[in-house]
Amino acid sequence: MSGRGAVWGQMLMIGVGLIGYGYWGPNLVRNFFEADGCQVSLISDLSRDRLARAAARYPSVRTTANHTPNVPAAEALQTEVQHLLHCIEHKQRPTTDGAAGLRVVRTLEAASQSMKQRGRPKLALAKGA
């Protein structure tokens, strides 16, 4: 599918921010940077040397030593409902569908279960999840 919506063929862009440009960081950034449908927006690391290497290799990507990037505070469900209402009003397709929402709910449930069981969740992911 290469980053395209399964139903309507629209290109979906996923913004990626990486915290930690140490051992695996350069490989992760390279893979996301070269992947269709991904845009690396931010690289954060406490090491100024690693940030300098990242900035030299990816000059279009913002770098910061701040480990708490400024992410606008918004309630995810409220944001999604506003998007859905906008799409209904303007007769557009939403960027996510019910299947994507179900995967998010299952992921959140698995994360919650994992925290309760100290990293040992017992879950069965549905096909395609």
Going by pLDDT thresholds of 50, 70 and 90, the confidence category of residue 5 is very low
| Domain match, 99 and 59 both | no
Q: What is the rounded CA–CA span in Å between residue 104 and residue 127?
A: 14
* Cα torsion angle, 112, 116, 118, 119, sign: negative
| Domain match, 31 and 81 both | no
Q: What is the pLDDT averaged over residues 57-80?
A: 78
Q: What is the pLDDT averaged over residues 67-79?
A: 67
Domain with 40, as residue range(s), is 1-70
What pTM does this model have? 0.47
Give 88-102 pLDDT, tens digit per residue: 999 988 877 777 778
Domain boundary among 28, 49, 70: 70
pLDDT at 16: 87
Mean pLDDT of the chain, nearest integer: 78
Closest CA to 41 of 17, 59, 11: 17
pLDDT at 35: 86
pLDDT at 10: 56
Burial letters 102-113, b for 16+ CB under 10 A, else e: eeeeeeeeeeee
| Domain match, 66 and 112 both | no
User: 37, 59 in Cβ contact below 8 A?
Assistant: no
Query: Between residues 88 and 3, which one has the greater pLDDT?
Result: 88
| Domain match, 55 and 4 both | yes
Closest CA to 111 of 123, 98, 93, 99: 123
Going by pLDDT thresholds of 50, 70 and 90, the confidence category of residue 54 is very high
CB within 8 Å of 128: residues ≥ 6 apart: 99, 103
Residue 18: how many CB atoms within 10 A of its CB?
20
Q: What is the pLDDT averaged over residues 92-121?
A: 76
DSSP character at residue 78: H
pLDDT at 2: 41
Report how many domains make up the chain: 2
| Domain match, 57 and 101 both | no
Structure-block tokens of residue 30: 């390279």
Which run of H or of E encompasses 32? helix 25-34
